[in-house]
Amino acid sequence: MGDDRRLDVLRAIVEDYVATSEPVGSRALVERHSLGVSPATIRNDMAALEDAGFIAQPHTSAGRVPTDKGYRVFVDQLSTVKPLSGAERRAIAVFLENAVDLDDVVDRAVRLIAQLTQQVAVVQYPSLRRSALRHIELVPVGPRQVLVVLITDTGRVEQRTVEAAAEVDPSVVAVLRARLNVGAAGRRLTELRTALADVEQGFEPADRPFVRSVVELIEQTLAQESEERVVLAGTANLARTGVDFARSLGPVLEALEEQVVLLRLLTEMAEDQAPVAVRIGRETGHDGLVETSFVTTGYGDESGSSVARIGAIGPLRMDYPGTMSAVRAVARYLTRILAG
CA atoms within 13 Å, Cβ hemisphere of 202: 13
Backbone angles phi, psi at 67, to 5 degrees: -95, 175
Question: CA gyration radius for the chain?
Answer: 26
Tell me how far apart the alpha carbons of residues 298 and 228 are, in angstroms, rounded to a whole number. 15
What is the CATH number that goes with domain 4-76?
1.10.10.10
Q: Tell whether pTM > 0.85.
A: no
Is residue 289 within 8 A of residue 255, CB to CB? The reply is yes
- Residue range 132-154: average pLDDT? 87
pLDDT of 258 > 60? The answer is yes
Helices (H) and strands (E) in the chain, counts: 13, 10
In this structure, how many other beta carbons lie within 10 angstroms of the beta carbon of residue 48? 15
Confidence of residue 96 (pLDDT cuts 50, 70, 90): confident
**Residue 68: band (very low, low, confident or very high) from pLDDT cuts 50, 70, 90:** very high
Question: pLDDT band at 305, cuts 50/70/90?
Answer: low
pLDDT at 326: 93
Where does the pLDDT of residue 304 fall: very low under 50, low under 70, confident under 90, or very high at 90 and above?
Answer: low
Residues of the chain with pLDDT > 90, as a percent, come to 44
Residue 63: Cβ-neighbour burial (10 angstroms; 0-12, 13-18, 19+): buried
Q: Are 11 and 74 in contact (CB under 8 A)?
A: yes
- Tell which CATH architecture fits domain 133-224: 2-Layer Sandwich (3.30)
Half-sphere exposure of 127 toward its Cβ, with a 13 Å CA cutoff?
A: 18
Q: What are phi and psi of 96, to 5 degrees?
A: -80, -35
Domain 86-126+228-339 coded CATH 2.60.40.1730: no
Q: What is the pLDDT of residue 280?
A: 96
What is the C-alpha to C-alpha distance for residues 256 and 245, in angstroms, rounded to an integer?
15
Mean pLDDT of 186-200: 77
Element (H, E) at 39: helix 39-51
User: Cα separations (Å) of 36 from 14, 24, 32, 66?
Assistant: 18, 18, 12, 22
Summarised one tens digit per residue, pLDDT across range 267-285 is 899 888 888 999 999 999 9
Domains in the chain: boundaries: 4-76, 86-126+228-339, 133-224
Express each pLDDT in 238-248 by its tens digit.
887 666 665 67
Contact in structure between 131 and 154 (CB atoms under 8 Å): yes
Closest CA to 301 of 154, 152, 98: 154
Query: What pLDDT is stored for residue 281 in this prediction?
Result: 93
